[in-house]
Structure 1
């Protein structure tokens, strides 16, 4: 039984393989809470794990209070995203041939167990652009709230 649990945990860690980690850039308080941290909007940045020189900035709601401080609160589904090209981009054949269901490049749990915020990348071959969609899902009932950012792939540096 113990070995099965360890194997399950290892498999879960391996399945997350190419999902980016975010670093917090800053935050602003939105609601004062007498006990526990305030409600806030957190601004985070992450680099696309499969495409060098694309950085996405994500703002999301973070619930405070006693439950928020203990990690038991469920954050709202409010989020915004802006992605930029920060250097030359070269796309792999895997990305160019990806299907229309996209590739998850970022995930963040927004409740103790059942809810998470995701960023999915799509490649728009006709317009030569990467499209990033952020949305929140829950085991049973997700949210239609979403935000979108597109990165046109343009030549970088000196033209010859």
Structure 2
């Protein structure tokens, strides 16, 4: 019973990260064996900021290694976040808080999206970058969303 409680406490302490949903993809390199190399566009909602959706495009390596999940994906990515409804904070925001993370190699490399709140300009800023256990990449992309009132829909006649 104590193990169950400890496991539940650990699960509740685990950071809440967004799960990505694939929007579409295009093939970039044909591979005879395994899937083609491609660019994938994914969408995810910020788990602590209702009304914000981010769109992430990134390269996925194909071939036999890519099909088996053994290939290392490139570090380049692009991000665009948009207000899609009234912005409401679900929890306390931490500076540089991770909102999305995905493995881009078998063990050592991940792609992450972190959020900052620019209080002076009343703006949410999202940064995507790739890191490795030993050496990360300086390649990154940033997007910003001003926190604005969301217009209510007009009443139907």
- TM-score, shorter chain, exceeding 0.5: yes
Q: Could you tell me how far apart the structure 1 residues matched to 2:30 and 2:14 are?
A: 35
Q: Structure 1 residues 16 and 34, CA, compared in 2 at 3 Å: closer, same or farther? A: farther
Match of 1:126 in 2: 120
Q: CA RMSD in A?
A: 2.2
Shift of 1:15: 5.6
CA contact (8 A) 2:73 2:105 kept: yes
User: For residues 115 and 82 of structure 1, do their structure 2 counterparts lie closer, same or farther at Cα, with a shift above 3 Å needed?
Assistant: same
Residue 147 of structure 1, CA deviation: 0.4
For 1:63-142, list aligned pairs within 5 A: 63-91=61-89, 94-95=92-93, 98-99=94-95, 102-142=96-136
TM-score by length of 1: 0.85
Q: 2:15 aligns with which of 10, 17, 22?
A: 17
Tell me, yes or no, if the aligned pair for 2:27 and 2:39 is still in contact at 8 Å.
yes
Give the CA deviation at 1:66: 0.6
2:52 counterpart of 1:54? yes
Which TM-score applies when normalising by structure 2?
0.87
Change (3 A) 1:16 1:75: farther
Q: Name the CA distance, whole Å, in 1 between partners of 2:35 and 2:74.
A: 16
Equivalent pairs counted in the alignment come to: 148
Task: Classify 1:93/1:112 alpha carbon distance in 2 versus 1 (closer, same or farther; 3 Å).
Answer: closer
